[in-house]
Amino acid sequence: MTVELHHDDFKEAVIGEESVDLILTDPPYGKKYMYLWEALGALSQRALKPGGWLITYAGQSHLDEEMASLGRWLSYYWTMSLHLKQGQQVYTLRVMWKPILVFFKPPKPRHGFIRDTIMGRGEDKRFHQWGQSTSELRPLIEAFSKEGDLVLDPMAGGGTTVQACLESGRNVIAYEINDRTFDRLKARVEGKIMALQSKLAAVPA
């Protein structure tokens, strides 16, 4: 299993063309970040293998623009629903779900069985203010990739995707632009690798 962490802008990423099986990420959702969605589409088109998947958490307020940006580069497959445990207030709406968009690079691939509603156990803010939970990502990783595949998270934040990949035997490349966030991501991943290594060492030969 390999893990590559890059303290860098994913728009400058040097990633082998058509080398990635699954891109799994959670970009910022605000209006001022819409350019990142176009860049994410372009990167996915270039880096995904034919038949590779892009799965991304998405915001509701600019969902039309997010989908249009990705749709210029990839084919649309599905919108999964992440059921929010606590929900949150936006304007006068009590928001109880978050869209998770699934696109692919043709030809249309197959995936393993998965329900299109994921029951969230609550966000994990220990490593990032917008941190997600590994328990939500594991079923996605397991249905849309297989052991030994290469997963890319171009906007890794506190490293939820990286940790979920380590737990499920996927190779992973991650990019994070922010200095403090990258330091936290690196420390989390190093801790997880040490924990996995000591678990392996404890298994009798």
Judged by the rule CB under 6 A, the positions of this chain that interact with ligand SAM are 9-11, 26-28, 36, 127-128, 130-132, 154-155, 157-158, 160, 175-178, 181
- Collapsing DSSP to helix, strand or coil, 192 comes out as helix
Q: Are the C-beta atoms of 82 and 57 separated by less than 8 Å? A: yes
Of the candidates 94, 109, 202, 100, the one whose C-alpha atom is nearest the C-alpha of residue 161 is 100
Q: How far is the CB of 106 from ligand SAM (least distance, A)?
A: 26
Q: How far is the CB of 110 from ligand SAM (least distance, A)?
A: 26
- Collapsing DSSP to helix, strand or coil, 92 comes out as coil
Q: What strands lie across the sheet with 117-119, from one edge to the other?
A: 3-7, 171-176, 150-153, 20-25, 48-57, 93-104, 75-90, 117-119
- Kindly tell me which of 33 and 97 has the beta carbon lying closer to ligand SAM: 33
- Kindly tell me which of 39 and 150 has the beta carbon lying closer to ligand SAM: 39
- Kindly tell me which of 15 and 36 has the beta carbon lying closer to ligand SAM: 36
- Kindly tell me which of 36 and 166 has the beta carbon lying closer to ligand SAM: 36
Q: How far is the CB of 80 from ligand SAM (least distance, A)?
A: 15
